Amino acid sequence: MPTPVDIRITPSLHADTLKEVDGYDEELTAPILASALEALDDAYITLGKLHDARDAAKKNQAWTEGQQVLAVSDAAWKQQQRLAKKLDNVRVTLEKQIAHFEGELSQPLESRAAVTISGEVRKFVKDMPTEKRHEFLRQAIEDGDHVTISAVCGAPPYLSGLDANFQKTYTRMWHERTSPDLAQKLKAVRGAKAVIEQRGALIFKEVEKAMGAPWTRVQALREGNDKALAALKFDGQ
């Protein structure tokens, strides 16, 4: 069940916003984004609890506004550090997933046709004008023509009049054409990583908002509180 919306917290940190990334699908990609979804949900719920703590502190009539902030600051700091570490761990995991899917979609192709046919295909492609060559290969990918693409991408690129970069591009296009689920997973994981990086930076501002003051003011309040407590100590007592 989705976490209820809390108007005290930026909607950007609600876990449901992650479901808007390109490539998200409840069955195909939701499982691999589970840790990212859980981390955002954790952050959202934790911020709500910090707001609750601040509201409770406000009801203590014996505390000044500064004391209310200090009362929440220790918990706020611990939760901020915990959430920042958790989101960074999620980012690292997503980076590893991206690298894995990138590798899968960049696997070299092996020619399935006979050596003679593959050689003829490469010569045919190489003899084409440059523009026609690229148009022909893009159409072959669209048509699912494995014989042509494997002949061209499964041998040194110069044999087909290509450079290494174009061969990698066509190999990637072929894998995306023949493995759409894999391509969709990569798209979703990339989108999730961008969200985590961008939303993770919001944690610090949101913690300050929940606490009721920026960390610079908290530090000043702590120093003032320490001085006041020290002044209340008397020698010999």
Q: Do 201 and 87 share a structural domain?
A: yes
- Count up the domains in the chain and report the number: 2
Q: Are 152 and 61 in contact (CB under 8 A)?
A: no
Q: Please tell me what DSSP assigns to residue 9.
A: S
In a domain, 201, yes or no: yes
Q: For the residues 49-68, what does the mean pLDDT come to?
A: 90
Whether the predicted pLDDT of 236 surpasses 60: no
Q: Do 59 and 35 share a structural domain?
A: yes
Report pLDDT for 225. 73
**DSSP-derived secondary structure for 207-227:** HHHHHTS-HHHHHHHHHHHHH
Report pLDDT for 162. 95
Q: Do 23 and 74 share a structural domain?
A: yes
Q: Do 34 and 98 share a structural domain?
A: yes
Q: Do 155 and 124 share a structural domain?
A: yes
Q: Are 179 and 105 in contact (CB under 8 A)?
A: yes
Q: pLDDT (tens digit, 9 = 90+) per residue, 159-195?
A: 999 999 999 999 999 999 999 999 999 999 999 999 9
Nearest to 206, CA basis, from 28, 57, 6: 6
Whether the predicted pLDDT of 235 surpasses 80: no
pTM of the predicted model as reported, rounded to 2 decimal places: 0.83
In a domain, 214, yes or no: yes
Report pLDDT for 181. 96
**DSSP-derived secondary structure for 147-204:** HHHHHHHTS-GGGGT--HHHHHHHHHHHHHHH-HHHHHHHHHHHHHHHHHHHHHTHHH
CA distances from 94 to 37, 86, 131, 181, 187 (A): 12, 12, 38, 17, 11
Report pLDDT for 86. 97
Q: Are 30 and 189 in contact (CB under 8 A)?
A: no
